[in-house]
Structure 1
Amino acid sequence: MSLVIQPSVFDFFKKLEKNNNRDWFNDHKKEFKAKEGEVKEFYNAVLNQLNTHDEIDKLKIFRIYRDVRFSKNKLPYKTHFGGSFHRAKPRLRGGYYLHIQPNNESFIATGFWDPAKEDLLRIRKEFEMDDSEIRDIIEEKSFKAVWSELVGDEVKTAPKGFSKTHKAIDLIKKKQFLFVKKYSDKEVLDAQFLENISHAFKIIRPYFDYMSDVLTTDLNGVSVID
């Protein structure tokens, strides 16, 4: 099993960036398939690491083909690998993502990309009622050393039904609740990259534990799942 990302993966994508067309890709498809196989082994190694400290029920590695139907960018191929790791729902919420791309564009991400309407309201209500616990988690020194700031799209002022002067409005107005950690090409190719990813994902757990508790109980703390 491949536990290291090889430089040839980045080399292939750099060539694809300059030749992003079907003829070139078809001529080099055998090379791509070899790189894809190597990287899939790495993603599965990440999955195995995650399952030592979490419960992952699915790994999804995204295809290289771009959906260009509604995009101004008509280039047919992605120039990166991407894969998501789904936690065992409904008890465990949140997810992990690993993005491998040359030119120092690689990153990992965790959190809540597109919460359902009901989940988004529940999260906001929790922050409105008491934002102290979530702030303690995301402001903790070792947590911030790895994940820095909470990011994500947000409304301009306040969601309907919430006061724009509420002390937790910075959290309440978010529509996404994400943490992102970027990596240089050198870091991705390092032999410790797998271990570094696993460590970063392990550090996020207090945040996931908190959000999972919020999303599986009502405002009175009563479970909403069987």
Structure 2
Amino acid sequence: RPALFAFLRDLAKNNDRDWFQAHKARYESHVKDPALTFISDFGPRLRTISPHFDAIPKATGGSLFRIYRDTRFAKDKTPYKTHLGIQFRHKQAKDVHAPGFYLGIEPGASMIGVGIWHPDGPSLASLRAAITADGRGWRRVRDDPGFRERFTLGGESLKRPPRGISADHPFVDDLKRKDFVGYAKLTQAQVLAPDFPAAFAAHCSAAAPFVRWLCQAVGVPF
């Protein structure tokens, strides 16, 4: 709904508790409730992609990220996020750093994310070991046309090759990755289109081989 973007724009201009409390009904009706409906409706589509990911339509402890920022260690003390975040996590994500599917809605910066963000040390080592063991298999999912026509690989990388990897390794750039994520930018018109739920599902389906490879690399089912 356009009202979702209007609320997020207004929140960015008035990021304080008094304003939010005065406009909390707008947040509930234009942001939170539609997001929970989207999560609930996406559940059956998600299960056709993989049964190992959760779509939990709960305001707390589910697929919807809280609007409240954790400002304890942040220089920026504004109390609220100015975007809507939804994550469809792997069922084992509480125990390991597992891949997932993400939707971020923000005026001028909406996107779909897939993959594994900031994996811990053991998971990152497993991902790199999988690339060195089967570079051709990694290249096949990384360069899959259905994936690459929708997604761009991003995230952080090391400046130098990791220890034990030579600078001329055929997959050195991938082995320097600290994140294994693909991003697809979205316009406001795309998000507001009636067929957006189907379009989001199509993006997730196109990323399935990439996410499957990541799951296998870190030892969780797909």
Q: Match for 2:49: what amino acid?
A: H
Q: Match for 2:17: what amino acid?
A: R
Shift of 1:93: 4.4
Q: Normalising by structure 2, what TM-score?
A: 0.87
- 8 Å CA contact 1:47–1:85 kept in 2: the answer is no
Query: Is structure 2 residue 41 aligned with structure 1 residue 45?
Result: yes
Query: Which of 142, 147, 159 is matched with 1:156 structurally?
Result: 159
- 8 Å CA contact 1:94–1:111 kept in 2: the answer is yes
- 8 Å CA contact 2:90–2:98 kept in 1: the answer is yes
- The CA deviation string for residues 158-210 of structure 1, in whole angstroms up to 9 with x for no partner, is 11222222111011111110001110111110011111100000111111222
Query: Which of 89, 98, 105 is matched with 1:100 structurally?
Result: 105
Shift of 1:134: 1.2
Q: Normalising by structure 1, what TM-score?
A: 0.86
1:1-226 alignment to 2 at 5 Å? 6-35=1-30, 36-55=32-51, 56-57=53-54, 59=56, 60-89=63-92, 93-102=98-107, 104-147=108-151, 149-216=152-219
Whole-Å Cα distance in 1 between the matches of residues 130 and 189 of structure 2?
41
Match of 2:60 in 1: none
5+ residue gaps, structure 2: 57-62
How high is the sequence identity, in percent, across the aligned residues? 31
SS at 1:146 equivalent: coil
- 8 Å CA contact 2:111–2:185 kept in 1: the answer is yes
Which protein is bigger by CA-based radius of gyration?
Answer: 1
Shift of 1:121: 1.0
Shift of 1:114: 2.1
Please give the root-mean-square deviation of Cα atoms over the aligned residues, in Å: 2.1
Whole-Å Cα distance in 2 between the matches of residues 68 and 93 of structure 1?
26
Q: Match for 2:115: what amino acid?
A: G
Whole-Å Cα distance in 2 between the matches of residues 152 and 93 of structure 1?
16
Whole-Å Cα distance in 2 between the matches of residues 193 and 138 of structure 1?
25
Whole-Å Cα distance in 1 between the matches of residues 165 and 129 of structure 2?
9
- 8 Å CA contact 2:103–2:111 kept in 1: the answer is yes
Q: Match for 1:171: what amino acid?
A: D
Whole-Å Cα distance in 1 between the matches of residues 18 and 206 of structure 2?
44
5+ residue gaps, structure 1: 1-5, 218-224
Query: Between Structure 1 and Structure 2, how many residues are aligned?
Result: 211
More relative contact order, 1 or 2 (CA 8 Å, 6+ apart) = 1
Whole-Å Cα distance in 1 between the matches of residues 49 and 132 of structure 2?
31
- 8 Å CA contact 1:83–1:98 kept in 2: the answer is yes
